[in-house]
Amino acid sequence: MNEIEKIKDALKSSNAEKIVAFVRKESEPREVLKVLSPNEVDKISFSPLSLNNPAKLLMQINGKVAVVAKGCDSMAIRQLIKEGKLKRENLFIVGISCKGVVDYRKLAKFVNLSEVNDVELNGNDLVLKLKNGEKRIPFLEVVDENCLYCGHPTPVIYDVLIGEPREGKRDFSDIEQFERLSREERWNYWISQFERCIRCHACRSVCPLCYCEECMVDPSNLAVSPMSTPEEKASYPRILGKTVNARDNTIYHLLRVLHHAGRCVGCGECERACPMELPLRMLERKLEKVVVEIFGYDLNEDIPFFSKLDIVGD
């Protein structure tokens, strides 16, 4: 039985009211996330182009949900359970031991995407089934760079596991290398990246951990109610406006990333969503390194990082 059939079987055994899974997008070789009812299980698909993280979608669905989750997706789900945003008993998790996903934009450089019918991983090669024939690309050349540093390819929480468990690693070599640059070089690098940002807020919108109704980068407050006083509304702190320039964008990204200390699960959705290809994971990984090295925190601990800091503080 192939991987997709196994996933379908697992989903069928779940008794969930809804299914969050990957479905092949029309007219493109990648999968997108859909919410399906149990009788639509046959629509699902899965491939190295099942890129996205379903965790955020789960937060908007009531009742029992079955979900297909890769290693990093399961990390996000576990983190949201830890933070009280999801209930374990409402979830049926079909975990997939993940070999890594493809960077879709990289793939587009190797092949005309409209020619691709199917994609599968075979050994170290990505095999593209084309309209005419087949094309093999070494997986390393098109893999999402983020997957090279993956700490948890095997789901950390699941009801059914599909595939053989595989080892993750903790590798900050890229960050260490960057840290060796001079302060000025690092500054110039980041400014040259941030100045490109168009502040579409896609990174925030896709991040499973950016679920706040009230975000400090917004100029006014979504959590406003009919009872909010004029004084409250008038004094809502405006940390930065909507202007786009290297300075404001830097503040935006630094503020955002700081809220992920000890929380970022490393799914890479921020970077994947960024239309301007900002190296956002590098920021998150730097923070992760700090959390590990200075605070000795491990994401696998049951208690959230900020709560632990409070306890230590007391």
Q: Which is nearer to another protein, 27 or 122 (CB)?
A: 27
Q: x/- site string to another protein, residues 151 to 170, per CB under 8 A?
A: --------------------
Q: Counting contacts by CB under 8 A, is residue 39 touching another protein?
A: no
- Shortest reach from residue 295's CB to another protein, in Å: 30
Please check whether residue 208 is in contact with residue 259, taking contact to mean a CB–CB distance below 8 angstroms: no
Please check whether residue 146 is in contact with residue 271, taking contact to mean a CB–CB distance below 8 angstroms: yes
- Shortest reach from residue 313's CB to another protein, in Å: 34
**How many residues in the shown chain lie near another protein by CB under 8 A?**
53
Candidate residues 167, 183, 225, 313; the one interacting with another protein per rule CB under 8 A: 225
Question: With the C-alpha atoms ordered 210, 212, 215, 216, is the resulting torsion angle positive or negative?
Answer: negative
Please check whether residue 91 is in contact with residue 54, taking contact to mean a CB–CB distance below 8 angstroms: no
Q: Counting contacts by CB under 8 A, is residue 62 touching another protein?
A: no
Q: x/- site string to another protein, residues 183 to 212, per CB under 8 A?
A: -------------x-xxxxx-xxx------
Q: Counting contacts by CB under 8 A, is residue 117 touching another protein?
A: no
**Any idea what DSSP says for residue 69?**
E
End-to-end CA distance of the chain: give it in Å, rounded: 54
Which residues are within 8 A (CB) of 67 and not within 5 positions of it... i.e. 6 or more apart? 19, 20, 21, 54, 58, 73, 77, 91, 92, 93, 94
Q: Counting contacts by CB under 8 A, is residue 28 touching another protein?
A: yes
Position 59: which residue type?
M
Positions that interact with another protein (CB under 8 A): 25-28, 30, 32-35, 52, 56-57, 60, 105-106, 108-109, 112-114, 196, 198-202, 204-206, 218-220, 222, 224-226, 228-231, 233-234, 241-245, 269, 272-273, 275-277
